């Protein structure tokens, strides 16, 4: 990643690196605060988990409208400062002995809204900081940060909770957002030229932009179907390994870590593989490999399960990087915020539906059949992509269709470029 030390994107990446490391700790520490400090019931834990997803479903489309209309740098700074304050309130309340579940619920929702705005802003800003030819490598670096954090963060969180208690472990995440805010403030954002005043601002704009493109339409549908069925495995894996296969927690932890480590390797290999086979086939191969874990789990054989976790983790990185790069390179910059938020709403909505279906089918059919149904459904997502122009797409600009620019703005007046770089 030595190429990343030059340019403004370095500051964005460093901020994401620090905040992702902190957030991976909170992912473990926040539920432990509820369980160990507040003795939360199963119903309360379910509500807390649901509230972390709710902002993406409820506020996803409006967030895209905000991102397309304000300074991305300032939005990133504000989101980091806001999350630092929110998360810092938890150890502060614990120290004063006034921490309640209601505060955790509020933090989960408000921090989720700010994370939605920050993530959408970062994805929208990156194409303005990086030449199109380097988008794949920039996205590889960004996802490498996330995968490293999710692989190592839970272990670090466990040690921190053991050493200083769960509420004060969250203080590390709050401080990480302070560092991230400083890095975001230092970014020299390219001057952003607003779209023509007559350009309508609608919640449906993101969907129209995505599905008007012959590549992004099937890509969105494929990813949503894969996300829905893939999310069916999440709530069942630990339950299946422990209750049906009688694995110890240590073996379960090794399996999860193996998947995360393979995802890290996948992020490092994605750019080279894309250069060799093309961006479309990289997405297809990654999505196909991600299907393996469900089928491997259904065998009940430990060696095959471990191999399946490694292959699937590798595949997740291979298809994650191309889909993000394709969206950033094919969507007009003044619509990128809305389209990105729409994508996240649709895909995360699919995950929420998949998680709900997992409980229903797991009860009705059993855990092993549900894992097989999940794998079969993920293959439908692969088939959708394989029957689309994605199959033969080699580069980000090949067969490019930009809906608004293809039709021209109202009155036939050429639009200015959405970004203009400062000297």
The pLDDT tens digits for 337-380 are 788 888 888 887 788 788 778 878 888 888 899 899 999 999 99
pTM above 0.85, yes or no: no
Q: Is pLDDT above 80 for 386? A: yes
Helix (H) and strand (E) counts for the chain?
17, 2
According to the per-residue pLDDT averaged within each range, which of 307-311, 328-332, 414-418 is highest? Answer: 307-311
Give me the residues paired with residue 419 across strands.
192
Supply the pLDDT for residue 305. 92
Could you read off the pLDDT of 227-279 as tens digits, one per residue? 889 888 876 787 788 778 888 766 776 787 788 888 888 888 888 888 888 88
335, 210 Cβ separation under 8 angstroms: no
Residues 402, 367: Cα–Cα separation, whole Å: 44
Scanning 135-245, the segments in alpha helix (DSSP H) are 135-164, 166-186, 205-212, 216-231, 234-239
Could you read off the pLDDT of 136-185 as tens digits, one per residue? 777 777 777 777 777 776 667 767 777 777 788 888 888 988 998 998 88
183, 9 Cβ separation under 8 angstroms: no
DSSP string, 318-342: HHHHHHHHHHHHHS-HHHHHHHHHH
Supply the pLDDT for residue 383. 95
Q: CA geometry: angle at 259 spanning 159 and 345, to 5°?
A: 95
Please give the structure tokens belonging to residue 122: 């970062």
| 22-26 mean pLDDT | 79
Residues 322, 148: Cα–Cα separation, whole Å: 19
Supply the pLDDT for residue 155. 66
The residue that leads in pLDDT, 415 or 7, is 7
| 115-140 mean pLDDT | 79
The residue that leads in pLDDT, 214 or 44, is 214
Residues 193, 53: Cα–Cα separation, whole Å: 33
């Amino acid at each position: 990643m030595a190429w990343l030390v030059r340019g403004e994107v370095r500051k964005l990446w460093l901020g994401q690196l620090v905040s992702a490391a902190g957030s991976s700790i909170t992912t473990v520490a926040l539920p432990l605060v509820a369980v160990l400090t507040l003795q939360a019931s199963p119903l309360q834990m379910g509500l807390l988990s649901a509230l972390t997803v709710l902002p993406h479903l409820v506020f996803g489309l409006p967030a895209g409208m905000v991102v397309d209309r304000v300074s991305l740098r300032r939005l990133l700074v504000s989101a980091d400062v806001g999350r630092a304050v929110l998360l810092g309130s938890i150890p502060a309340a614990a120290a004063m002995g006034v921490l309640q579940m209601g505060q955790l619920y509020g933090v989960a929702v408000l921090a989720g809204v700010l994370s939605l705005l920050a993530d959408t802003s970062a994805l929208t800003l990156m194409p303005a900081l990086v030449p199109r030819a380097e988008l794949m490598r920039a996205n590889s670096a960004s996802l490498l940060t996330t995968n490293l954090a999710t692989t190592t963060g839970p272990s670090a969180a466990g040690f921190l909770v053991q050493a200083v208690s769960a509420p004060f472990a969250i203080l590390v995440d709050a401080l990480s957002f302070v560092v991230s805010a400083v890095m975001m403030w230092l970014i020299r954002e390219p001057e952003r030229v607003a779209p023509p005043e007559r350009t309508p601002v609608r919640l449906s704009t993101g969907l129209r932009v995505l599905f008007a493109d012959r590549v992004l339409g099937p890509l969105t549908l494929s990813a949503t179907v894969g996300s829905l069925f893939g999310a069916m495995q999440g709530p069942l894996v630990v339950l299946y390994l422990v209750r049906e296969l009688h694995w110890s927690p240590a073996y379960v932890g090794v399996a999860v870590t193996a998947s995360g480590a393979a995802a890290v390797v996948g992020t490092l290999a994605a750019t080279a593989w894309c250069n060799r086979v093309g961006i479309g086939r990289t997405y297809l191969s990654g999505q196909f490999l991600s299907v393996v874990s469900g089928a491997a789990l259904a065998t009940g054989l430990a060696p095959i399960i471990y191999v399946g976790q490694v292959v699937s983790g590798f595949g997740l990185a291979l298809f994650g990087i191309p889909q993000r790069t394709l969206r950033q390179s094919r969507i007009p910059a003044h619509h990128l915020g809305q389209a990105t938020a729409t994508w996240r709403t649709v895909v995360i909505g699919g995950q929420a539906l998949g998680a709900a279906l997992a409980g229903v089918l797991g009860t009705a059919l059993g855990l092993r059949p549900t894992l097989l149904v999940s794998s079969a459904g993920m293959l439908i997502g692969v088939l959708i992509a394989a029957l689309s122009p994605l199959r033969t797409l080699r580069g980000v600009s090949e067969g490019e269709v930009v809906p608004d620019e293809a039709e021209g703005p109202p009155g036939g007046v050429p639009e200015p470029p959405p970004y203009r770089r400062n000297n």
